[in-house]
Structure 1
Amino acid sequence: MKQKEITIRNLKDEDLPQIKNLLYDTWIKKDYGENERVANEISSIFMYELLYRQSFSNVAVYKEKVVGIILGRINKHYKLKNNIIYIIKLILHCLKTILLKDGIKALKSEKETAKVNNELLNSLSTDTDGELILFALNRNIKGRGLGSKLLNSFYNYMKENNADKFYLFTDTTCDYGFYEHNGFKRESSKNIYFKKEPQTYFIYTKKLT
């Protein structure tokens, strides 16, 4: 794979099945893979919960396959009405999950994660202009400069709109060292047990100027 063979473009609706599969492979499978129906619904819930928060969405495409995605938001440009379809789909998949065996348990686990992230956000001592909501790559192409290319597309979006400081959530199941290597500042952390396994959740910030 060569850099010139990769296209960075805006997210399209037809990309969503591939995005869902990328999220499933990266995060959901290891936590809910023992129950395929629940895992499938949680993948959709996770995707739509991220999408309804964004005002910026780019994907990396290689040979018509989505191999990376980045979602972000500038607070002053965010309009909930623009993402209402994602909220509707999020609610529908939550209702479907409730009807499944272990579905309510899975939703409670996801709610606990959201609660931890909210606590970390409230711990920030300074205001931010936005959020880096999602940054995910196909695990088979990491280390080829694609991550930096996607990040730069978000940085450019921030700069073009006079936004500077943003935050992101991550945890020990992710390559959080990547963010530290790229100049992000760890602001706070919280240790929890997720499905009886210890994890640490973090909030990072970054200033572009």
Structure 2
Amino acid sequence: MSELIIREFVPSDTEALKRILDESFIVDEFVTSTPPLDSVLEIYLRGKIIASTLALVVEKDEEVIGTIMLRVNDRPRIRSPFDDVATILRRLLGLFIVDTSDAKLWKEYLRYEASYARLRHRTKVSLEHEITLFMMAAAHRGQGIGSQLFAKAKEHMKEHGARNFFLITDTDCTWQFYEARGMDREVSDSFSMDLRRGQHDLTTYLYSGTL
């Protein structure tokens, strides 16, 4: 029988999470060559770690197959943000130097962040506690493993005094997962990006939930 373990993130999990990230968020639509792609994956992942107070991974048969990261207000962040910011800046500089065409596509990705900011500005719900990242390897979706990981994150937030939380997702992700678990869609934002395959229309959602 396969062994399933949910544990805290350690640095050696990084490469496995970058592979899942690339698979889950069509990152290769923003960059075309390996060095910039690796930089984008690391920048995104480190950014989520900086924003989080806890990162959990789920491991099956000694393979990391998913993660959930969260931020509980007033809890310490996972690691010193100064160390990670320095790494992110080095990666960003390398990205823009290596391939300017990829850099232009990466700028399109920043439209995501602008949309997230608009959602936060428009919503009236509390933004104290957040699911900052949630992703599962494609081969292990629909097996109830993500549900266990999600429940563990909610349990942690509740243990530390949170009574509600929010997350941001989009139409390229399985937003139905959150509605099936009783979360409410508070606000949405639509925009377009110019990707390698052409114009891509996207809608982002901010969901809130209670604990």
TM-score in same-fold range (> 0.5):
yes
Whole-angstrom distance in 2 between the partners of 1:78 and 1:109: 32
Secondary structure of 2:80's match?
helix
Superposition misfits of 4+ residues, deviation over 6 angstroms: none
Q: Once the 2 structures are TM-superposed, how far is the Cα of residue 81 of structure 1 from its aligned partner? A: 6.4
Secondary structure of 1:50's match?
helix
Aligned residue in 1 for 2:41: 43
Whole-angstrom distance in 2 between the partners of 1:169 and 1:198: 17
Whole-angstrom distance in 1 between the partners of 2:10 and 2:79: 18
Matched, 1:197 2:200: yes
Q: Once the 2 structures are TM-superposed, how far is the Cα of residue 36 of structure 1 from its aligned partner? A: 3.1
Identity %: 23
Aligned residue in 1 for 2:171: 172
Aligned residue in 1 for 2:107: 108
Contact 2:31/2:106 (<8 A) preserved:
no
Whole-angstrom distance in 2 between the partners of 1:197 and 1:95: 27
CA shift digits 1:189-209 (9 cap, x unpaired):
11111222111111111111x
Matched, 1:70 2:68: yes
CA shift digits 1:7-27 (9 cap, x unpaired):
000000100111111101111
Give the paired residue count: 206
Flag the 1:106–1:78 CA change in 2: closer, same or farther, 3 A: farther
Between 197-206 and 100-109, the greater mean CA deviation after superposition: 100-109
The 5-angstrom pairing of residues 54-203 of structure 1 reads 54-79=52-77, 82-101=80-99, 102-195=101-194, 196-203=199-206
Contact 2:30/2:108 (<8 A) preserved:
no
Q: Once the 2 structures are TM-superposed, how far is the Cα of residue 42 of structure 1 from its aligned partner? A: 1.1
Whole-angstrom distance in 2 between the partners of 1:141 and 1:17: 18
The 5-angstrom pairing of residues 17-32 of structure 1 reads 17-32=15-30
Q: Once the 2 structures are TM-superposed, how far is the Cα of residue 33 of structure 1 from its aligned partner? A: 5.6
| Structure 1 gaps, min length 5 | none
The two structures have a TM-score, normalised by structure 1, of 0.91
Contact 2:51/2:77 (<8 A) preserved:
no
Q: Once the 2 structures are TM-superposed, how far is the Cα of residue 32 of structure 1 from its aligned partner? A: 3.0
Aligned residue in 2 for 1:8: 6
Whole-angstrom distance in 2 between the partners of 1:180 and 1:127: 18
Read off the aligned partner of 1:180 and give its amino acid letter.
E
The two structures have a TM-score, normalised by structure 2, of 0.91
Flag the 1:47–1:96 CA change in 2: closer, same or farther, 3 A: same
Whole-angstrom distance in 2 between the partners of 1:95 and 1:80: 25
Q: Once the 2 structures are TM-superposed, how far is the Cα of residue 90 of structure 1 from its aligned partner? A: 1.5
Read off the aligned partner of 2:190 and give its amino acid letter.
N
Taking only aligned residues, the RMSD between alpha carbons, in angstroms, comes to: 1.7
Whole-angstrom distance in 1 between the partners of 2:81 and 2:57: 18
Secondary structure of 2:143's match?
coil
Whole-angstrom distance in 1 between the partners of 2:139 and 2:78: 34
Secondary structure of 1:206's match?
strand
